[in-house]
Amino acid sequence: MSLEIVHVSAGYPSQQVLDDVHLTVPKGQILALLGPNGAGKTTLLRVLSGTLAPWQGQVRWEGRDIHRLAPKARARLVAVVPQARALPPAFTVEQAVMLGRTPYLSWLGGAGQADWKAVQRALTQTDLLPLAARPLQRLSGGEQQRVLLARALAQETPLLLLDEPTTHLDLHHQSRLLALVRDLSRARGLTVVMVVHDLNQAARYADRVAILDHGRLVAAGSPAAVLTAERLTRVYRTPVEVLTTAQGWPVVVAAAE
Ligand SMILES: Nc1ncnc2c1ncn2[C@@H]1O[C@H](COP(=O)(O)OP(=O)(O)OP(=O)(O)O)[C@@H](O)[C@H]1O
Ligand SMILES: [Mg+2]
């Protein structure tokens, strides 16, 4: 079982972005998607989530083309933590997280016990229980980011897509979020694709990393194999050194220009 990105080309009416991206993410693994600004990372996540149809190629989950699923079925399959914040400001934290349960609610029925349980669990996992009744407009940027994660977790999907989830978070909450995502992938077999700019976070928390540049896949594989000084210097157009920690993690540092 896996997520298969099969020769995907995609873009917008004004421009092509993705060019023949071909990649497989085995079930239960975390893939970190790397690359410079404008490389096409968010565009690829849009194709994976089903919101942007590929011009060519397919996205398959367990062999089924996700773009052929009905919206509700797709919402039970894939949850997204978006790059831009888009939450109704007057909602409370709890109400916003309950939005993650939408694909399970019947047309007339309200939230049931399973829905409340999922919301409480997601609030607990993201340290948001004390803020449950707070309106979103009175949260900090990092707290809002955690609400987006909690909403996605409450959705209880086998596939989770995260677009720069640690951007607004302090060091403690960055590690907490990445460790939580890793634990969920280990314990529940959650399959994760996350866009991160911090190459060291990618090296530490992802099973595999993939680099996009100008809409093309430049490399994919283990962090140690992909994150080489020569490749990173070329892709990021800036001199880079790669060191190795005592535990064998690659550590990427920008060299002086
Ligand atoms: N809605 C849109 N309509 C037209 N072009 C778009 C749209 N969204 C993004 N683009 C363009 O597509 C290209 C890839 O954008 P994308 O958002 O996928 O990059 P990214 O790798 O996520 O970058 P970043 O690291 O800055 O988030 C860019 O040239 C961007 O200007
Ligand atoms: Mg982006």
The two structure tokens encoding residue 257: 């220009």
What is the per-residue pLDDT across 197-206, written as a single tens digit (0 to 9) for each?
A: 999 999 999 9
Residue 42 CA, ligand 2 centroid: distance in Å: 4
DSSP string, 136-196: GGGS-HHHHHHHHHHHHHHT--SEEEEESTTTT--HHHHHHHHHHHHHHHHHH--EEEEE-
Residue with CA nearest ligand 1 atom 12: 17
Provide the pLDDT for residue 86: 73
Provide the pLDDT for residue 22: 98
Owner of token pair 């909450």:
173
**What's the whole-model pTM score?**
0.94
Q: Which of the pair, 58 or 255, is modelled with greater confidence?
A: 58
Q: What percent of the chain has pLDDT over 70?
A: 99
> Would you place residue 52 in the very low, low, confident or very high pLDDT band (cuts 50, 70, 90)?
very high
Domains of the chain: 2-254 (3.40.50.300)
Of ligand 1's atoms, which has the minimum distance to the CA of residue 164?
27
Model confidence at 179: pLDDT above 80 = yes
What is the per-residue pLDDT across 74-109, written as a single tens digit (0 to 9) for each?
A: 999 999 998 877 788 889 999 999 999 988 887 667
Testing ligand 1's pocket by substitution, the residue of 16, 17, 163 carrying the most ligand atoms inside 8 A of its CB is: 17
